[in-house]
Amino acid sequence: MTQDRKSAVVLIAEDDREMRSLLRDELYDLGVSIREAADGDEALRSVLDTRPALILTDLRMPAGGLDYIARLRTFAPGVPLVLITSFGDQQTKANALALGVEAYFDKPVRISELKEAVRRLLGPALDGEID
């Protein structure tokens, strides 16, 4: 790793501070830059400011929901979306996937599985930066 390398940015949108902190700590290991947002609006602003390489977002939070996901899709075309939601039902999962979400997880999710998905989706970006 070199000092001047620009790490890939991962946006974590999550209204629960502890959950956010956990995700931050875990993803830090992957060597990515973390941007955080505590609600939907903040997440959208952040997407416009910094083009993230991946967005990891909660579904149920202030200014969240499926509309928010659809907007994210429009604002950040081509950016992989990982959705985590508390005990989601079949319908939510189907709707999310229909919107083009790359990965879907129900809370509670095993962090190892989540990290695995993030690593897979970031793949080239991670490799590019590391090299």
Partner 1 sequence: MTGLCRKDSSVQKHFEDIFEASVDAIGYVASDEAILLVNRAFSELTGFSKEELLRMNARDLIPEQHKEQRDRVVAQVLQTGKPVEYEIDYLRKNGSQVPVSITLFAVKGDDGKPTGLAAIVRNLTERKRAEEQFRLVVESSPNGMLMIDKGGTILLVNRQIEQLFGYERAELIGQSVEMLVPQRMRPHHAGERAKFFAHSESRAMGKGRDLYGVRKDGQEFPLEIGLNPIRTPDEVKVLASVVDISARKRAERALQKERDFIDAVLETAGALVVVLDREGRILRFNRACERTTGYSSEEVMGHYVWDLFIIPGEVEGVKAVFERLRGGELRNDYENYWKGKDGVLKRISWSNTVLTGSDGTVEYVVAAGLDITDFKHVEAQLRKTERIAELGTLASGMAHEIGTPMNVILGRAEYLLQRTADEGMKKGLATIVTQIERITKVMNQLLVFARRKQPDRQVVDLGEIVEDSLEMFQERMTHNRITVEKAIEANVPLIHADRDQLVQVLINLVTNSLHAMPEGGRLRLSLDRENSHVLLGLSDTGHGMSEEVRSKIFEPFFTTKDFGKGTGLGLTVVKGIIEEHGGTIAVESVVDRGTTFWIRLPLDRTESVGTSSITPTPSP
- Minimum CB separation from partner 1 for residue 125, in Å? 23
Instruction: Name the amino acid, one letter, at 120.
Output: R
For the chain, the distance separating the N- and C-terminal CA atoms, rounded to the nearest angstrom, is 8
- Minimum CB separation from partner 1 for residue 78, in Å? 28
Q: Provide the greatest CA pair distance for the chain.
A: 45
Nearer to partner 1, 2 or 112 (CB): 112
- Minimum CB separation from partner 1 for residue 6, in Å? 26
Nearer to partner 1, 62 or 108 (CB): 108
3-state secondary structure of 54: strand
Based on the shown chain and the rule CB under 8 A, indicate whether residue 26 belongs to the binding site for partner 1.
yes
Residue pair 15/36 in contact by the 8 Å Cβ criterion: no
45 in the Ramachandran plot: left (φ > 0), alpha (ψ -120 to 50) or beta? Answer: alpha
Based on the shown chain and the rule CB under 8 A, indicate whether residue 130 belongs to the binding site for partner 1.
no
Based on the shown chain and the rule CB under 8 A, indicate whether residue 116 belongs to the binding site for partner 1.
no
Which residue reads 């992989």 in tokens?
Answer: 80
Interface positions with partner 1 (CB under 8 A): 16, 18-19, 22-23, 25-26, 58, 60, 84-87, 89-90, 106-112
